[in-house]
Structure 1
Amino acid sequence: MRLFGFGSNQLPVNGKTVLITGGSEGMGRSAAIQLAKKGANVVIVSRSREKLAAAIADIESAALNPDKQRFHYISADLTNTSDAERIIEETTQWNNGVPPDVVWCCAGFCHPGFFIDVPIRTLRAQMDTVYWTAAYTAHATLRRWLAPVAPGSSSTASSPRHLIFTASILSFWPLAGYGPYAPAKAAMRGLADVLVQEIEMYNGARRNKQNAAPAADVKIHIVFPMGILSPGFENEQKLKPEVTKIVEGADEPQTPDKVAELAIKGLERGDYQIVTAPLGHLMRGSALGPSPRNNVLFDTVAALLGSLAALFAIPDLSGKVFKYGKKKGIPGTGK
């Protein structure tokens, strides 16, 4: 059934506990609200206590079972490893000693610009706030989830736990003007591709009752949105070079609610890689490489069509940038 994209819900969250970083606004907040509507207990994390308090009120009001569900927020700076470890520990204590069932990494922001025009500190900040916040959170989460229990005490019937990354379609198709941002998202994709393989060692160990193994299977997922009309989008547009707006003309930004809705649908299908716009399927298909396939038939067709489209699209994108430089010269210098 999975071959054709059908099957049962692979992300049942009713009664489960979900931790979302970057959950005070944008896609993270929207995902928290929609999962609360499905019966999840939700913990959100960000730096701003004020934004967290406002968001948690909206999340609570969306609860499917207000008398049973619980909600919590944690202020943390996830560019610090100690804070990443703290949010997992605090959530586990709040959850009666049980680790969260789902951890969704949504923290981060985009700072567009030409690679040589932004200072090194900006390049480092993008890697810190985009890649390392996710990597630190994943490391702390997996160390907790994958701790072995005594042989014979784990059950293969236990519900899987889910670790979800939020990357960008730029992980597949980088564009001029995203020099600070696209590499960090590509690094996140690389991490997810490694973990989706490594995790099978631990899942396999659970199939032999003589092994000390984790208490539950773990599933890895990664979401690749295109443009999102998030609170930071207006500022992003101010920083974005003119030529970047030209080459990404086909990208129509989506609302955080729509992106979260489509991401959750993909997670419920059990997809490993999830895109949230039709054009994203072709971009993903042309760049799958060794990444696991969600659906053999669909992904094979998308890979063929995407690769054919790339024959025309890549020269077109480079050509637009070349013509822009020929016409206007180097930005900030005149002709």
Structure 2
Amino acid sequence: MHPSLPSIFYDFSSTALGVSAIFSVLFFYAVVKMFGFGDSNQFAVEGKTVVITGGSEGMGKAVACQLAEKGANIVIVARTLQKLQESIEAVRGSATNASKQRFHYISADLTNPEECERIISEVTEWNDGMPPDIVWCCAGYCTPGYFIETPIRTLKDQMDTVYWTAANTAHAVLRKWLVPINPSHQRPLPRRHLIFTCSTLAFVPIAGYAPYSPAKAAMRSLSDTLNQEIEIYNGSRASKERARATPADVKIHTVFPMGILSPGFDNEQLIKPALTKQLEAADKPQTPKEVARIAIEAIERGEYLITTMFVGNLMKGSALGPSPRNSWIRDTFTGWLSNLVFLQVVPDLRKQAFTWGKNNGVPTA
């Protein structure tokens, strides 16, 4: 007998056992999904009051219309009064029961934290003294460009309109939601949801988005931090003492679309560097309705970090780090695949940028 045969045999057996275990888990996962176990709707919105910032156009408007179709009461927030007035009629027209559902709009500048507090107070008064059940942050726009070619004022404006509009809104509503009460004096309320709209650029930066990507990365970091911090308040409801606890559990979600066909996207294309368009060739823009539908379905499944297409999912897989997983099986395998793919992708992005500079010289303002 060959002396090394036993060790080879045991190595092979261990490998085969590991592969069998993986396939068994995957098979079990597939069966669970096939028969719908654990697929109860975790984002039932009928009769709930939803605030959507950036709700006058694009993805925000699509989200408002689709949640109205599911029976929600909708409040849309944006700066431009005329757009709000036009959009609220479209939202009302999408309602499943317009005679019972309620609709409202508020014009506000979300870069001002006091305005965000005013919004939540106004919605609470409009909602018979109850704060909104769901807040979805869709406000913001992109001003692409190279870092040193972009004025400092524009860099600051992008952080204000992308990150701070979301952070200000989150701060205002969480301060309202997380006021402790004596649970014996009030019946438990349904779970509340805070939803951020981010971008896959928070996972994989692309040359030409220097004004925009850092703000989205900051939003992703805020989301991850709040995802942990919120458990302090959720945990208060499970305390044996329960003398003071928050009135409802809160769940955080963040959506990471790629390109979205909208007036904002059209404006981006006019000023976007040609190299940026080349580097993001794999991004096939989706309609606002498509992105809204995919995001809502994922929230209904209880997902935390949500992408809206396969390429975006690969980008997420490459950068999950310590973020919570939607599915430890699916996200782990996606992460392995993404890490292999991006061994080639990242050097290729840098090579394309180098070649562009070699052929065209430095960018001109």
TM over 0.5: yes
- Cα distance between partner residues in 1 of 2:141 and 2:314: 25
Alignment partner of 1:87 is 2:126: no
User: Secondary structure at the residue paired with 1:164?
Assistant: strand
- Partner deviation per Cα, 1:103-148 (whole Å, 9 max, x = no partner): 0000000000000001000000000000000000000000000000
Which residue in 2 is equivalent to 1:231?
Answer: 263
Q: Say yes or no: does 1:277 pair with 2:304.
A: no
The 3-state SS of whatever aligns with 2:123 is: helix
Letter in 2 for 1:91: V
Matches of 1:87 and 1:151, distance apart in 2: 27
| Distance (whole Å) between structure 1 residues aligned to residue 226 and residue 200 of structure 2 | 19
**Deviation of 1:332 (Å):** 2.2
**One-letter code aligned to 1:173:** V
Where do 5+ consecutive residues of structure 1 fail to align?
none
Q: Which runs of 5+ in 2 are unaligned?
A: 1-27
Deviation at 1:233, TM superposition (A): 1.1
Query: How much identity, in percent, do the aligned residues show?
Result: 59
Q: C-alpha displacement at 1:296, in angstroms?
A: 1.1
Q: Is contact 1:154-1:206 (8 Å) kept?
A: no
Relative to the length of structure 2, the TM-score reads 0.89
Answer yes or no: is the 8 Å Cα contact 1:131–1:185 preserved in 2: yes
User: What is the one-letter code of the residue matched to 2:100?
Assistant: K
Structure 1 residue 198, shift from structure 2 partner: 0.3
Paired residues, number: 332
Name the structure 2 match of 1:19. Answer: 51
**Which of 298, 322, 327 is the aligned partner of 2:354?**
322
Greater relative contact order (Cα < 8 A, sep 6+): 1
CA contact 1:151–1:210 (8 Å) conserved in 2:
no
1:11-52 superposed Cα distances (whole Å, 9 cap, x missing partner): 000000000000000000000000000000000000001000
Q: Aligned partners of 1:100, 1:263: CA distance in 2, in Å?
A: 20
Partner of residue 161 from structure 1, selected from 192, 215, 233 = 192
Deviation of 1:155 (Å) = 4.8
Partner of 1:173: 204
Is it true that 1:216 corresponds to 2:255 in the alignment? no
**How far apart are residue 272 of structure 1 and its match?**
0.4
More helix by share: 2
Letter in 1 for 2:134: V
Matched position secondary structure for 2:263: coil
Cα displacement string for residues 219-248 of structure 1 (whole angstroms, at most 9, x for unaligned residues): 000000000111111110111101001100
CA contact (8 A) 2:54 2:140 kept: yes
> What is the CA distance between 1:214 and its match in structure 2?
0.8
> Kindly tell me: are residues 25 and 199 of structure 1, through their superposed partners in 2, closer, same or farther at Cα, counting changes over 3 Å?
same
Partners of 2:285 and 2:291 in 1: CA distance: 10
Contact 1:152/1:209 (8 A) holds in 2: no
Aligned to 2:221: 190
Name which of structure 1's ranges 34-43 and 202-211 shifts more when overlaid on structure 2. Answer: 202-211
Match of 1:138 in 2: 170
Question: Which amino acid is 1:135 matched to?
Answer: A
1:116 and 2:148 correspond: yes
Q: CA separation in 1, counterparts of 2:349 and 2:241?
A: 56
Q: Over aligned residues, Cα RMSD in angstroms?
A: 1.5
> After superposition, what is the alpha-carbon deviation per residue over 1:307-332, rounded to whole angstroms, capped at 9, x for unaligned?
11110100011111111111111122
Question: What displacement does 1:2 show?
Answer: 9.3
**Partner residue in 2 for 1:301:** 333
CA distance in 1, matches of 2:109, 2:206: 29
1:67-106 per-position Cα deviation (integer Å, ceiling 9, x unaligned): 2100000000000011000110000000000010000000
Q: CA deviation at 1:209?
A: 5.1
SS in 2 for 1:152: helix
Amino acid of the residue matched to residue 227 of structure 1? Answer: G
Query: Given the two structures, how large is their TM-score scaled by the length of structure 1?
Result: 0.97
Structure 1 Cα separation of the partners of residues 275 and 290 of structure 2: 27
- Residue 152 (structure 1) shift: 3.0
